[in-house]
Amino acid sequence: MEAHTSKSRTCSAPVPGSLSPKRRELDIERLANEQLDILVIGGGVTGVGCALDAAARGLSVGLVEQRDLASGTSSRSSKLLHGGLRYLESRDFALVREALHERGLLAKTVSPHLVRTVSFMIPLTRRFWQRIYFGAGVLLYDLLARTGRHPLAFHRHLGRRATLELAPGLKQSSIRGAIIYQDAQIDDARHTLAIARTACHHGASIVTSARVTGLLIETRNGSETVVGAKFRDLETDTDYECRATKVVNATGVWLDDIHDMACPAGLSVRAAKGVHLVVHRDCIDSESGIVLRTPRSVLFLIPWGDHWLIGTTDTEWDYDRAHPAASSADIDYILEHANAALQRQLTRADILGVYVGLRPLLDASDDDTTKLSREHAVAEPINGLVSIAGGKYTTYRVMAADAVDAAVVGLDKPVPPSVSHEVVLLGSDEWQHWSQQANALTQRSGLDRDIVERLLWRHGNRIVDVLEIAEHEPALATGIPGGSYIAAEVVHAARHEGALHLDDVLARRLRISIEDEQRGNLAAESVASLMARELHWSDQRKDEEVKRWYERVEAERAANAAPDDSTADSLRRRAADTRGLNDA
C-alpha cells in the first residue's frame, strides 16, 4: 500500500470519547493543575474500569498509564468472558457465579458489540465416569448462569458419531462422545479501549505513556497520607505532579512497585505466565471450540475469526514484566497436549503468532501458581492509597466498583453508588439495530461485506467514524498488508484512539502482530507512514518506530526458540521498548 501524503482531514462531527493528541495535552494540563477526587494508576481493564466507575458517579478523575491502554495482560488473555468452568472443581462457586453474572451483563447491556457467543466441546475418551463427572460440572455451570441477565443455550450431550461430525479433526480412535456448552468471547484490547473512551466521554482524563515516578505523601493528623503522584510524560520527557484526594493502584503485576514507593506492606501479587499460540482456522477441522484436560489445568482451542487461539500455560514468571516471553518449552507443551487430541498434527510451521500475558495473582505461600487466588481483594496499605489486586478479566467491573467504593470513603462530599452496570460502552448503543446494518453499510461504503462485519465487531456503531475517514479520503479504504484491516482504521487509531506508537496499532488497535505469519513486518512501513502523517512524526522518528518493530519481532522469534524462561527473557529484552520501560 502506498503512503498517503495529503493533509489529514478532521471529521465533520465531534467524535465521542476521542483520545486525540490535543485531548492528551489538555488532560496532562488538567492533571498538573487541578485537584482531583481520584487518580488511577494503570491502564489495563481494571484501571480504566475504575476511571469509568468513578467518572460515572460524578467524581473528578484522572488516569495515568506508563505504556499503552491494555498493553499488558488486558490485551493478552484467552479472549473469553467466562465463569471459569474448572474453578468448580475447587468449589469456587461464588467466583464462578459472579463471573457468569458479569458475562451476561456485558453481553446484553454494557458491551454487546464486542461480545460473541462461542461453543465448546469437552471430548470424552472414557465410556461412563467422564460423562457423569464432566456432565455434572457443566450442568452446575449452566445452572449458575441462569441467575444472569443473558443466559446462553443449555449444554448438550453428544454421542461418538455426532461428536466427529462436529469436530472431524479429533482423533477418532479415542473419542467416545462429548459434552458441548456455550460461553462468550471478546476482543480484550478493544474492550479495554472502549471502557477508556467511555470514561473519557464521562469526563475522565486518560493519559498514556505517563510513568509514575513517585507518590506525593504528606503527614495529616499524625499519619502519612498519599495525596497524589509524580509522573513523567515519556513523550516529552517532562515531569509533573498530580494531586488527588485518593489514589487507586490498579497496576496488576506492577502493584508491589507502587507499594514500594510508599510502604513496605499491603497486598502482594505474583505473576503467572499464560502463553497462547495462533494458527490458521484450516489447521483444526472443528465447528466448535475444544476444551482439553492437561495434568496441570486445561487447554482451550478457541475459534477466533479466521484463526484458532490455543492455550494457555500457567507458570510463574520472575523476569521482565514489560516483555514476557514464550520459550520453546512453552510452545512444545501446548503443541504436545493439543496434538494428543488432534488427527492432523500441528507443527511450528503452522504457528502464525505467539502472545504471552501475565496474570496478577494474589500471593500465597504455595509456589504453584495454579493454586493462587483468582479472587480479587481491595486494601488501603497507607492512607490515601487504595490497591486492587487479583481477579479475572470477566469481573473487571465488580473489581472497579469495589475499589472506588473503598476510595470514596472519606471524601468530603456525598458520592452515589456505582452505576457502571447501566453504562453502555461507546459503540454498543442501539446495538440491536446496528448489528443488522452490514448490508446497508456495505452499499454505502463500497467495502466488502466481510470487512464491514469485522469493522462492526471492533467499532460497533462508531463504525461511522472510520467510514467517514475513508469517505473523505478514498485511498484510506484500501487494505493493510497482513490482515483484514483498512488504512482508515490506522488513521482513526492515531486520531481518536490514543495510539502514540507503531506497536500500539499493530499489536492492540489491530491484531496484525498475532494474526499474520510475518507478525506485522509487512505492514510496519505503511502503518508507520499513516501514523507519521497524523502525529507529525519526522522521517527519523518514523524510521525509528519501524526499526524498533522489526527488532521486537526478531527478539520474539528468538525467544520462542529458546529452551527456557531465563534464556527467552534475555533474548526478548533485545527488543527496544519505545517508551524505555525494560525492568532493571
Question: Cβ of 102: how many Cβ atoms within 10 Å?
Answer: 24
The b/e string for 312-351 (b: 16+ C-beta within 10 A; e otherwise) is bbbbebebbbbbbbbbbebbebbbebbeebbeeebeeebb
Query: What pTM does this model have?
Result: 0.95
Which three cell numbers mark 304? 477466533
Q: Regarding the domain delimited by 21-73+190-268+372-407, which CATH topology (the fold level of the hierarchy) does it fall under?
A: FAD/NAD(P)-binding domain (3.50.50)
Per-residue pLDDT tens over the stretch 414-448: 999 999 999 999 999 999 999 999 999 999 999 99
Q: How far apart are CA 400 and CA 44, in angstroms?
A: 11
Q: Regarding the domain delimited by 111-185+271-363, which CATH topology (the fold level of the hierarchy) does it fall under?
A: D-Amino Acid Oxidase; Chain A, domain 2 (3.30.9)
Task: Name the CA radius of gyration of the chain, rounded.
Answer: 23
pLDDT on residue 11: 44
Low-confidence ranges of the chain (pLDDT < 70): 1-12, 147-150, 264-266, 364-374, 575-578, 580-584
CA distances from 42 to 65, 251, 385 (A): 5, 5, 13
Per-residue pLDDT tens over the stretch 488-515: 999 999 999 999 999 999 999 999 999 9
Among residues 358, 360, 391, 387, the alpha carbon closest in space to that of 374 is found at 391
CATH code 3.30.9.10 region(s) in the chain: 111-185+271-363
Taking a C-beta distance cutoff of 8 angstroms, is the pair 333, 250 a contact? no
Q: How far apart are CA 159 and CA 177, in angstroms?
A: 4
pLDDT on residue 195: 98
pLDDT on residue 194: 98
Taking a C-beta distance cutoff of 8 angstroms, is the pair 421, 406 a contact? no
What is the number of residues in the chain?
A: 584
CATH code 3.50.50.60 region(s) in the chain: 21-73+190-268+372-407
